[in-house]
Amino acid sequence: MTKRIVVVGGDATGMSAASTALRHAPDGDLEVVVLERGHYTSYSACGIPYWIAGDVGDRDELIARSPEQHREAGIDVRMRTEATAIDVEERTVSVRGVDDGDSYELGYDELVIATGAVPTVPPLEGADAEGIFGVQSLEQGEEIVKDLGAGDRRRAVVVGAGYIGVEMAEAMVSRGLETTILDMAPEPFTQVDPDMGALIREAMEGMGITVRTGTSVDGFDVGEDGRVRAVRAGDTVLPADIVIMGLGVKPNVALAAEAGLTIGESGGIATDVRMQAAPGVWAGGDCAEVRHRLSGKGVHIALGTHANKHGRIIGTNIAGGYGAFPGVIGTAISKVCSLEIARTGLGEREASAAGFGYVTASVESTTTAGYWPGAELMTVKLLAEQRTGRLLGAQIVGRAGSAKRIDVFATAIWNAMTVEQMTFMDLSYAPPFSPVWDAVLVAARKAAKEVQAAVPASPV
Amino acid sequence: MTKRIVVVGGDATGMSAASTALRHAPDGDLEVVVLERGHYTSYSACGIPYWIAGDVGDRDELIARSPEQHREAGIDVRMRTEATAIDVEERTVSVRGVDDGDSYELGYDELVIATGAVPTVPPLEGADAEGIFGVQSLEQGEEIVKDLGAGDRRRAVVVGAGYIGVEMAEAMVSRGLETTILDMAPEPFTQVDPDMGALIREAMEGMGITVRTGTSVDGFDVGEDGRVRAVRAGDTVLPADIVIMGLGVKPNVALAAEAGLTIGESGGIATDVRMQAAPGVWAGGDCAEVRHRLSGKGVHIALGTHANKHGRIIGTNIAGGYGAFPGVIGTAISKVCSLEIARTGLGEREASAAGFGYVTASVESTTTAGYWPGAELMTVKLLAEQRTGRLLGAQIVGRAGSAKRIDVFATAIWNAMTVEQMTFMDLSYAPPFSPVWDAVLVAARKAAKEVQAAVPASPV
């Protein structure tokens, strides 16, 4: 008997689930319908800033697979089509055409909710003016590219100095705009600790980006033509020809919440380890909550790599296999021009919030032997649990060739290694690739010393 | 009471042991004497090929610390001075000046043997001709640089396609010489499996290096001036203006063996986990044997990073602290021009020799998102233990930005991870740094499939 799978959302999680399920299920066993509100499927949202910057030449390069390609693979992709309601008892979805308004009901045996995230938009005066853009979808990316070419754009203001913010600041600078980036926090990029954020500020300023921290946006000045003229922040008025909003995202759970599904502490849809939200209902990607392996808490991390993993796990389960998501540890990487930034595990604020006592250690090192002509500097900061010495977090800020080392720390955290255990690990060495003591080992050694030096705060 | 530490050999292990001991011991507690046969201390032998290639501008950049600098730190460094015998009962060393022949006895409380390795030199006709060089010491590097500048050198033959061989082939090509590299094995670089070696051959040929495998050197034709003219290999005569011998090294244990110390199965000096060879006698670096964490066997791996670790551990122990070497897993990395090569754990031959049943998986991937302009190709091969799925080995051959990923596999092996456990690890992703599924994850997934697919060979 053919089972019908309905997938709501045709990007990473949705299409990956659809493809995986179809690939693993016996022929004719599954009918897969995908509902996608937008114009595109399976595209790299993470690539949008680089396309805007001009690093990626063509929009289509960001599209891994078009609706037509998915249809050729046997998936019934319905574009510009949205789900307006889910009945988890009756196992039906209410469907509506975005352009034509045509509505119908669709029964399902298994439902995949992959509705992604929506940008955080504070209710600011003038926020709906022309020239103010989010960077969530390929459509928004297209609008920005079009807008930049449509007139004299000399001054860009980027609101929010997180991942999207710093990447968009780079994009604006690459396109020759005078660029200011704003953030409420004392230092940019609060995904790392303030001492590491200060290094990012310094580097960004060196690239000609104006960094204004401790700055809340109060609203936007809008011209008579309806276009943004300036960003207002307290007494400061920052003239702007274009404004990029990068205040982060929140899970898009309206549909799931109305259907009575459980929304977790992070605001994302709660699921079990197999990404099942309710019998016959699966959820993954930017709309879902995942478990943090260190804090044990439910967290929401919008990231393409998780979304793809979720899709594969959901597809495997739907096809009758077994897939389980082991959780996250908050690994992420980014760059601003030649500066690389990476983190994994918990930062100081997060470690405290989770109740951990910890010590920190920061070291400066080089990407290669110091005498190698391409040697680049990097700073590595570690957090280790007090007394046990377990590695809790790592942060890297450095130049080309530094940040991917975060994966070594991620693997160490994944295995609950102590910094002491890491000190003499057999990592690769040759002069063009690392100093004789790789930065990972130097940082681990310093952290191990700090663990030993820390006087236990508890009586045992 | 002041204790006297005598260190035989003033490079990585010896000087690191001396410095660490002195730094950690109370003032005046230790007298440290270092005997060094050569002209230099604490230099990067691994950097010699790059200096010859011209990547590193000056010889002195390879010297981390000169004898004078060590003396300023309070170490009694005696250059051009060798140990000719050790009496472990009486705790004395017989010492001789290399240039003046002056001899004396030196008592010790603790002795560090850090005599390094000596090149493997087969007894070939003409092997002592002028123009034939090893690349073991800074002195030999100097001879090569001098020789290359001393006449018309157009054709280089490199004997042995291991680490030193491929690095020296790059150096010769970089200096504009017509370069041929020879090896007995069917593919170059037997530190990786033949299928990966074939990729290296292909890349080296693409760089204009002539690769002759399955080729044993029978001898050298020598001109009347005493200089090498050609390399003879069977019926083939390869004209050569300069010949580089890169047939590997063996531990330099003559002194230790004569003193009655135990030589291990690998030919290196056997030690306990603290690197102690006998009461009051320590050994480390290229002359010592270390334990392989996977095979459990004693192995000899001449590598600067291990030598430095050993030195630190020995110094810590001598100063009254506790240091233990946790063993190796055979991690190494190298490059030939733009090609990067890395390996960790066991290759197929080693896995079989250790008795492991295993499956393999090879994948091709890119260093960044496929659409990123700097995307480079790489091949990753994994070995996983049959049935258990434990990762046994990893090999990477690829272009710029690929090989350092070996450290993630090394960390996974260090923690006895299965490839299945690696499949959904939280590794860093952003388009300039990796595809949405990093090569590590793609390879782990393919290997996990192979583990599942393999029919158990045993009845349980």
Q: Which residues of A touch B299 (CB under 8 A)?
A: none
User: Shortest CB distance from B424 goes to which of A62, A325, A421?
Assistant: A325
Q: Could you write out the DSSP letters of every residue in A325-352?
A: ---B---EEEEETTEEEEEEE--HHHHH
Show which of residues 146-165 on chain A sit within 8 Å of chain B, judged by CB atoms: 163
Residue A27: the pLDDT is 79
Tell me, yes or no, if A337 is annotated catalytic: no
Distance of CA B387 to the CA centre of its chain: 32
ipTM: 0.96
Cβ–Cβ of B431/A44 closer than 8 Å?
A: yes
Q: Does A47 touch chain B (CB under 8 A)?
A: yes
Longest dimension (CA), chain B: 70
Average pLDDT over chain A reads: 95
Q: Which residues of A touch B431 (CB under 8 A)?
A: 44, 46-47, 50, 56
Residue A122: the pLDDT is 86
Candidates B290, B294, B323, B322; CA nearest to B306 is B290
Does position A299 have pLDDT exceeding 60, yes or no? Answer: yes
Cβ–Cβ of A434/B404 closer than 8 Å?
A: yes
Helix axes B194-206 and B163-174, enclosed angle (nearest 10): 10
Cβ–Cβ of B424/A369 closer than 8 Å?
A: no
Distance of CA B162 to the CA centre of its chain: 10
Residue A363: the pLDDT is 98
Residue B28: the pLDDT is 80
Residue B26: the pLDDT is 79
If pLDDT is split at 50, 70 and 90, which confidence band does A57 have?
confident
Span A441-459, mean pLDDT?
87
Handedness of CA B185, B186, B187, B193 (dihedral sign): negative
Cβ–Cβ of B332/A428 closer than 8 Å?
A: yes
Cβ–Cβ of B426/A408 closer than 8 Å?
A: no
Q: How buried is B212 (Cβ within 10 angstroms: 0-12 exposed, 13-18 middle, 19+ buried)? A: middle
Residue B460: the pLDDT is 55
Show which of residues 56-115 on chain B sit within 8 Å of chain A, judged by CB atoms: 56-57, 61-62
Question: How many other CB atoms are found less than 10 A from the CB of residue A388?
Answer: 15
Higher pLDDT, A121 or A171: A171
Q: Does B254 touch chain A (CB under 8 A)?
A: no
Cβ–Cβ of A344/B425 closer than 8 Å?
A: no
The residue to which tokens 């290997």 are assigned: B447
What is the least distance, in Å, from the CA of A92 to any CA of chain B? 32
Q: Which residues of A touch B12 (CB under 8 A)?
A: 436
> Please, are residues B300 and B268 in contact by the beta-carbon 8 Å criterion?
yes
Q: How buried is B384 (Cβ within 10 angstroms: 0-12 exposed, 13-18 middle, 19+ buried)? A: buried
Q: Does A181 touch chain B (CB under 8 A)?
A: no
Q: How buried is B248 (Cβ within 10 angstroms: 0-12 exposed, 13-18 middle, 19+ buried)? A: middle
What domains sit in chain B, N to C, each tagged with a CATH number?
3-38+45-117+249-318 (3.50.50.60), 121-245 (3.50.50.60), 340-453 (3.30.390.30)
What is the least distance, in Å, from the CA of A265 to any CA of chain B? 21
Which member of B6, B7, B25, B46 is catalytic? B46
User: Shortest CB distance from A342 goes to which of B303, B329, B428?
Assistant: B428
> Please, are residues B340 and B398 in contact by the beta-carbon 8 Å criterion?
yes
Q: Which residues of B touch A437 (CB under 8 A)?
A: 305, 308
Tokens of B53: 């290639």
Highest mean pLDDT among A22-31, A294-303, B447-456: A294-303
Q: What is the DSSP letter of A391?
A: E
* Mutant choice from B192, B322, B405, B407 vs A, greatest count of A C-beta within 10 A: B407
Q: Which residues of A touch B405 (CB under 8 A)?
A: 404, 407
pTM of the model: 0.96
Which ranges of B242-322 does DSSP label H, i.e. alpha helix? 254-258, 304-318
The residue to which tokens 């507690």 are assigned: B29
Q: Among all residues of chain B, which has the CA nearest to that of A415?
A: B415
Tokens of A268: 């994302």
Please write the tens of the pLDDT for every residue from A231-259: 999 889 999 999 999 999 999 999 999 99
Cβ–Cβ of B47/A305 closer than 8 Å?
A: no
Rounded to 5°, the CA angle A36-A38-A40 comes to 85
Q: Does A322 touch chain B (CB under 8 A)?
A: no
Please write the tens of the pLDDT for every residue from A378-426: 999 999 999 999 999 999 999 999 999 999 999 999 999 999 999 999 9
* Mutant choice from B275, B428, B442 vs A, greatest count of A C-beta within 10 A: B428
Residue B437: the pLDDT is 96
Cβ–Cβ of A334/B308 closer than 8 Å?
A: no
Span A6-22, mean pLDDT?
97
Q: Which residues of A touch B425 (CB under 8 A)?
A: 326, 410-411, 414
Cβ–Cβ of B332/A405 closer than 8 Å?
A: no
> Please, are residues A427 and A441 in contact by the beta-carbon 8 Å criterion?
yes
Which ranges of B264-422 does DSSP label H, i.e. alpha helix? 304-318, 348-353, 406-414, 419-422
b/e code B144-170 from CB counts within 10 Å (16+ = b): bbebbeeeebebbbbbbbbbbbbbbbb
Show which of residues 413-432 on chain B sit within 8 Å of chain A, judged by CB atoms: 414-415, 417, 421, 424-432
If pLDDT is split at 50, 70 and 90, which confidence band does A337 have?
confident
What is the least distance, in Å, from the CA of A321 to any CA of chain B? 13
**Under-50 pLDDT residues of chain B:** none
Cβ–Cβ of A404/B328 closer than 8 Å?
A: no
Are β-strands A219-222 and A228-233 bridged in parallel, bridged antiparallel, or unpaired?
A: antiparallel
> Please, are residues A188 and A181 in contact by the beta-carbon 8 Å criterion?
yes
Residue B57: the pLDDT is 84
Q: How far is CA A334 from CA A49, A53, A376, A386, B401, in A?
A: 11, 14, 17, 29, 16
Q: How buried is B434 (Cβ within 10 angstroms: 0-12 exposed, 13-18 middle, 19+ buried)? A: buried
Span A423-432, mean pLDDT?
97
Percent of chain A clearing pLDDT 70 (strictly above): 99
Does position A344 have pLDDT exceeding 90, yes or no? Answer: yes
